[in-house]
């Protein structure tokens, strides 16, 4: 262990016993657990004034998340900043030693460096961390959770639960039910990623570039990405691995998806930044182990949680960033057979039994289901249900 600790066994949300780790000499978390389990937890949001943190606060309030108290953590320069939540004014606090001792759950969205330093300390104090950074996603001791896919994994947490990458979440929600039904042999994904994935400053810079362009300013403001973003597309700005050519954003989906699906899953991905404010889109090609009809695909998609099929071929109405911004659901459309798919049975590419692959196009709000909403849904899984 990284700290001197003891363990207390208490009922988990599923009714089994779980172990809550706490620092020797600290009784805050024990008192709350003994009093009400996680029926009315004391909640925190770290990074509460950032793009994702703002949406975390909104979703906690919109969904009526039960809580005894709320603490909002922000940059030291924002300490004392008033924020309204559920009709009450809360003053932002800066993070310091001991600040998590009085909390039961804290949603983290303050960057990888912050999470690496403070998430273990929070967990050691008995506060369960739902972390939006990439730091703990591939840690075998930390569940990586998309509630529509592997909600049960929350029960294995040891104080930290990782929120997957935004593109991974958005792809996993519609693909997993298809994988369960038809076994996906391989997926090929291209992403169209909004400014919101790079934070509030990137969103503001895209808006500023639009103003610069309108005013005839050249070059436009380029402080975040170091290039013109408006009227442009470019390879995702995460570092590229020199050995295989993938960038970090792409590799997240490659690594994270099998962990979430709890089994092998082959996916190739190309990530591109597009001049959109807050909703990601993805083009997804799936190859199945057997022939599948579009009727079967639609039946699975229409029954799956967290998605809405938007697929009007006549009027060319399909998923778009504008349509999905502000929505909890992921929009799925452009569903069609992949006529180039490998034909395992040696027959025609398409028969009455369908084909071996499909293409589809999805859109999801990166700040909501791609980050804040998924984190709040994870926190909801921790609550004790009477």
Q: CA–CA separation, 363 vs 193, rounded Å?
A: 10
Of all helices (H) and strands (E), which one includes residue 147? helix 147-150
SS (H, E, C) 253-293: HHHHHHHHHCCCCCEEEEEEECCCCCEEEEEEEEEEEEEEC
166 is catalytic: yes
How many C-beta atoms lie closer than 10 Å to residue 150's C-beta? 18
Q: Measured between alpha carbons, how far is 386 from 371 in angstroms, rounded to an integer?
A: 28
166, 271, 281, 337: which one is catalytic?
Answer: 166
CA-closest candidate to residue 266, choices 175, 152, 335: 175
Vertex 68 angle, CA 66 and 73, to 5°: 95
CA dist 162 and 169 (Å) reads 12
- Please count the other Cβ atoms lying within 10 Å of the Cβ belonging to residue 11: 13
List 90, 157, 236, 280, catalytic entry = 280
Q: At what angle do helices 373-382 and 51-62 cross, to 10 degrees?
A: 50
Task: Using alpha carbons, select from 156, 142, 158 the residue that is nearest to residue 256.
Answer: 142
Q: Write out the H or E segment, with its range, that includes residue 317.
A: none
Task: Report CA-CA distances (Å) from 186 to 28, 255, 258, 352.
Answer: 48, 14, 12, 23
Q: DSSP string of 40-87?
A: S-EEEEETTTSHHHHHHHHHHHHTT---SEEEEE--GGGTT-EEEETT
Active site residue 142: no
Positions marked active-site = 166, 280
């Amino acid at each position: 262990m990284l700290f001197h600790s003891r363990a207390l066994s208490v009922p988990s949300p599923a009714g089994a016993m779980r172990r809550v780790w706490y620092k020797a000499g600290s009784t805050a978390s024990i008192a709350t657990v003994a009093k009400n389990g996680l029926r009315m937890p004391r909640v925190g949001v770290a990074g509460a004034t950032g793009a994702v943190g703002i949406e975390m606060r909104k979703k906690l309030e919109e969904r009526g998340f039960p809580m005894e108290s709320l603490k909002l953590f922000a940059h030291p320069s924002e300490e004392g900043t008033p924020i309204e939540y559920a009709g009450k004014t809360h003053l932002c606090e800066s993070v310091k030693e001991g600040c998590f001792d009085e909390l039961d759950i804290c949603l983290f969205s303050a960057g990888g460096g912050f999470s690496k330093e403070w998430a273990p300390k929070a967990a050691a104090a008995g506060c369960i961390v739902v972390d939006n950074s990439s730091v703990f996603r591939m840690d075998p001791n930390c569940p990586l959770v998309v509630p529509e896919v592997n909600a049960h994994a929350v029960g294995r947490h040891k104080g930290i639960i990782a929120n997957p990458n935004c593109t991974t979440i958005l792809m996993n929600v519609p693909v997993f039910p298809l994988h369960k039904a038809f076994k996906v042999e391989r997926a090929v994904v291209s992403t169209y990623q909004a400014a919101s994935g790079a934070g509030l400053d990137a969103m503001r810079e895209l808006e500023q570039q639009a103003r610069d362009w309108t005013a005839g300013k050249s070059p436009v403001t380029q402080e975040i990405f170091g290039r013109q973003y408006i009227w442009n597309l470019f390879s995702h700005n995460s570092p590229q691995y020199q050995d295989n050519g993938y960038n970090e954003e792409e590799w997240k989906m490659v690594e994270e998806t099998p962990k979430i699906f709890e089994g092998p899953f082959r996916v190739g991905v190309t990530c591109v930044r597009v001049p959109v404010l807050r909703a990601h889109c993805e083009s997804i090609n799936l190859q199945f182990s057997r022939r599948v009809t579009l009727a079967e695909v639609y039946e699975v998609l229409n029954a799956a949680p967290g998605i809405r099929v938007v697929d009007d071929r006549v009027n060319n109405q399909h998923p778009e960033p504008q349509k999905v911004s502000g929505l909890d659901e992921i929009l799925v459309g452009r569903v069609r057979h992949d006529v180039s798919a490998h034909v395992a049975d040696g027959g025609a590419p398409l028969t009455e039994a369908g084909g071996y692959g499909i293409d589809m196009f999805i859109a999801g709000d990166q700040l909501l289901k791609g980050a804040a909403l998924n984190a709040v849904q994870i926190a909801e899984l921790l609550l004790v249900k009477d």
